[in-house]
Chain A
Amino acid sequence: MTDTATLAQKPLAPGLNRDDARSAAREVRKRRLQAFLFVTPLLIFILFSFVAPITTMLYRSVYNPTVADLLPDTLVALQEWEQSDESPSDAVLTQFAIDLKRLANDRTSGRLADEINRALPGMSSVVKSTARAVRRVDDAELAANGPALLIDANDRWAEPETWRAIKDAGRAYSLDYYLTSLDLERGSAGEIQARDTQIYVKLYTKTLWMALIITVATVLLGYPLAYFMANTSTSLSNALMVFVLLPFWTSLLVRTTAWIALLQTNGVVNSTLQAFGLRDDPLELLYTQFSTIIAMTHILLPFMVLPLYSVMRGIDSSYMRAAMSMGSRPLAAWFRIYLPMSLPGLSAGALLVFIISVGYYITPALVGGTDGQMISNIIAFHMQQSNNWELAAALGALLLLLILVLYWLFDRFVGAANIKLG
């Protein structure tokens, strides 16, 4: 809106009266509205179909009301209890016994068991067995003897650690899933400490490391190819372009299938090696980190070659000829003259390949085995198998942050508008 405002306040050009200025401002407003109206339908569509889902997911990573909804009264009673070495009062235990009986009869005690188990591993069976024990006890008996009944069913109800876990799980808003994503946890006094088992930081590091190897591999393969194609005759380079574009356009699943056919135990690579007598026993190539890296290098190579080629095409070859005719060695001429000029294409390709490979899911899932898994695969695991959606959301949010930082770098150094297709 600033343009409109400045236009109205600007000192008037000679021969232009206030009415003209006002009608010009009106015209500008009309044009802006017109342009915006063209974009509106798509904007609404993307806000609903894409932006809202991502926002909901981010919200979910800090908000989990399950326990708060299941045990509202117990949690109110627990508020009084300081996180000390003593167990909470009998009133809290009684209230919990009554809540647990209700949940057991509503068949929702299993959900409670899962949630508390996440805060304190091993609690799942404790909650479930206690729920079975109190299910049939009548209310008067529970009100009178609740604490004793709980502790009879399982002595872990006497431990303060158990109640601390319930109190933690009962907070609807928490950053605990982010702590878990970074392999941290809250200690008994609420301090933040490293977990015994380091999983996720290692996985993030491995993902970045694999993405880096893939990026370097695509540079090593792609740069000479793009250089050759950019410096040969147009008809030859157009023909060779088909060899780059056909894989680019071929389904991801087809290319992954091809690598499975090549690399499996009785696959093409192993049969060839054996036929030539180079190996007696087959190599274990598939379902390893190696197979993930080679298949992804193959899949992402066109993303490196295409931007490199389009930049190199525009570099005048006479610079290199001039340097070399004046006695420069080819490598020195390339390093000091050609490389700096091809850098925009190189950085575009490298960042593109790196960004895509950090978030890759399908190829590691199919050819990765156990040590070729990347961060996306563990997110899918928590979504589909362990049903820990909040942790999946927190891991996803960290991955998204990483991608946004990379994208910001991309936009800064390359300019997102320079992305070209085909």
Chain B
Amino acid sequence: MGRFPEYYNLWHIAGHYALRGFAALVLIFLMLPILVIIPLSFNAEPFFTFTEGMLALDPDAYSLRWYKEIFDDEKWTLAIKNSFIVGFAAAILATLLGTVAAVGLASPWMPYKRLITALLLSPMIVPLIIIAAGMFFFYTQFNLVGTYTGLIIAHAALGVPFVIITVTATLSGFDRSLFIAGLSLGASPVKVFWDVVIPLIRPGVISGGLFAFVTSFDEVVLVLFLAGPEQRTIPRQMFSGLREQINPTILAVATLLVVLSAAMLFTLEALRRRSERMRGEGL
């Protein structure tokens, strides 16, 4: 019992282990649902549940047929293509506009800073169903409903707050005198922005872009209202799959998405460490 302080009695120690056990249960609650779908996606039968053969670890009860199904079904391949097209375009648009704006917002001279920041962050707060309803009314007048352009604009608007937040956070560690030094040496603001600011805030920009991409990639409410059959994305396809006929193809897609988000998580973590290291050394 050497690891506990002197004043600990049995109750303290019991409490310590109870806390530990409870935390473990919560972590299991968080992870288990996601882990359960992975083996289910290798089901040889068209069910959403473990068959007896699977529980007996019979190799014949497992198959890759639902993965093959994804790539044989035109609806899924189109959805995958659409998700990447819309996601990339929306992320690039949001990152470009958001990064430039964040530099302006970080300036101590920025007028109406509070109001404008609140306005630019508001897509994050307003419920998606309200955004979807409003955009549907408004975009119809510009013939943007049922087009890639409309969907990309809508998703870019959703991604903007994340870019603003991450880039502003990186800029808070940015020494503004570097900007002024660039200007005083005769470079134009745009040149200073590209050659001095961007390289220093790159980790923030990249993680903002990733957030914007994931937001679009995961978004389904706006797609439900604004996209036509030609622009169906992966979540939209999953949504109708879950409503109409449930089959393990959805589980196979879900498993691929879990793998993708794990990759995304590790990329972001690496970026965060890099950013911390750069700040630790550079400033």
Give the interface of A toward B (CB within 8 A). 1, 28, 31-32, 34-39, 41-43, 45-46, 49-57, 60, 221-222, 224-225, 227-229, 240, 242-247, 249-262, 264, 266-268, 271, 298, 301-302, 321, 324-325, 327, 330, 355, 358-362, 366, 376, 379-380, 383, 389, 392-393, 396, 399-400, 403, 407, 416-417, 419-422
Does B189 make an interface contact (CB < 8 A)?
yes
Q: Which of B125, B137, B242, B272 contacts A389 (CB 8 A)?
A: B137
Give the Cβ gap from B13 to chain A, nearest Cβ, in Å: 11
- A298 engages B258 (CB within 8 Å): no
In the complex, the chain B residue whose C-beta lies closest to that of A271 is: B49
Cβ–Cβ < 8 Å partners of B221 in chain A: 361-362
Assembled-state Cα–Cα distance A252/B40 (Å): 18
Interface centre among A249, A321, A376 (most CB of B within 10 A): A249
Cβ–Cβ < 8 Å partners of B189 in chain A: 34
Using an 8 Å CB-CB cutoff, how does the interface string of B211-244 with A read, 1 for contact, 0 for none?
Answer: 1001001101100110000000011001100110
Using an 8 Å CB-CB cutoff, how does the interface string of B248-267 with A read, 1 for contact, 0 for none?
Answer: 00110010011001101100
Cβ–Cβ < 8 Å partners of B153 in chain A: 49
Cβ–Cβ < 8 Å partners of B5 in chain A: 321, 324-325
Give the Cβ gap from B98 to chain A, nearest Cβ, in Å: 6
- B254 engages A249 (CB within 8 Å): no
- B133 engages A258 (CB within 8 Å): no
Cβ–Cβ < 8 Å partners of B133 in chain A: 57, 379, 383, 389, 392-393, 396
Kindly list 11 other residue pairs between chains A and B, CB separation below 8 angstroms, not including A359-B128, A366-B242.
A37-B104, A39-B104, A46-B119, A49-B154, A57-B133, A57-B138, A261-B48, A324-B5, A366-B243, A379-B133, A400-B126
- A361 engages B128 (CB within 8 Å): yes
Q: Which of A28, A32, A261 contacts B110 (CB 8 A)?
A: A32
List 9 A-B pairs, minimum CB-CB distance, nearest first. A359-B127, A38-B104, A53-B134, A53-B138, A57-B134, A258-B33, A42-B101, A35-B107, A228-B23
Evaluate whether A36 and B110 lie within 8 angstroms (CB atoms) in the complex, with A46-B119, A366-B243 already known: yes
Give the Cβ gap from A348 to chain B, nearest Cβ, in Å: 14
Assembled-state Cα–Cα distance A259/B132 (Å): 25
In the complex, the chain B residue whose C-beta lies closest to that of A58 is: B134
Q: Which of B129, B242, B262 contacts A256 (CB 8 A)?
A: B242
In the complex, the chain B residue whose C-beta lies closest to that of A367 is: B242
Evaluate whether A362 and B220 lie within 8 angstroms (CB atoms) in the complex, with A56-B137, A246-B261, A258-B254 already known: yes
Assembled-state Cα–Cα distance A227/B129 (Å): 35
Q: Which of A298, A325, A376, A399 contacts B30 (CB 8 A)?
A: A298
Cβ–Cβ < 8 Å partners of A258 in chain B: 33-34, 36-37, 254
Does B71 make an interface contact (CB < 8 A)?
no
Cβ–Cβ < 8 Å partners of A383 in chain B: 132-133, 136, 225
- A243 engages B29 (CB within 8 Å): no
Using an 8 Å CB-CB cutoff, how does the interface string of B65-79 with A read, 1 for contact, 0 for none?
Answer: 000000000000000
Cβ–Cβ < 8 Å partners of B139 in chain A: 53
Does B156 make an interface contact (CB < 8 A)?
yes
Does B85 make an interface contact (CB < 8 A)?
no
- B111 engages A32 (CB within 8 Å): yes
Q: Which of A34, A38, A42, A267 contacts B160 (CB 8 A)?
A: A42
- B251 engages A261 (CB within 8 Å): yes
Cβ–Cβ < 8 Å partners of A262 in chain B: 33, 36
Does B3 make an interface contact (CB < 8 A)?
no
Does B64 make an interface contact (CB < 8 A)?
no
- A260 engages B48 (CB within 8 Å): yes
- B19 engages A253 (CB within 8 Å): no
In the complex, the chain B residue whose C-beta lies closest to that of A50 is: B157
- A31 engages B27 (CB within 8 Å): no
- A267 engages B97 (CB within 8 Å): no
Cβ–Cβ < 8 Å partners of A298 in chain B: 29-30, 33
In the complex, the chain B residue whose C-beta lies closest to that of A358 is: B127
Give the Cβ gap from B33 to chain A, nearest Cβ, in Å: 4
Q: Which of B7, B31, B156 contacts A247 (CB 8 A)?
A: B31
Q: Which of A49, A51, A225 contacts B26 (CB 8 A)?
A: A225
Cβ–Cβ < 8 Å partners of B36 in chain A: 258, 261-262, 268
Using an 8 Å CB-CB cutoff, how does the interface string of B150-177 with A read, 1 for contact, 0 for none?
Answer: 0001101100101001100100000000
- A246 engages B49 (CB within 8 Å): no
- A361 engages B127 (CB within 8 Å): yes
Using an 8 Å CB-CB cutoff, how does the interface string of B32-53 with A read, 1 for contact, 0 for none?
Answer: 0110110010000001111000
- A266 engages B131 (CB within 8 Å): no
- B107 engages A421 (CB within 8 Å): no
Assembled-state Cα–Cα distance A117/B250 (Å): 42
Give the Cβ gap from B271 to chain A, nearest Cβ, in Å: 9
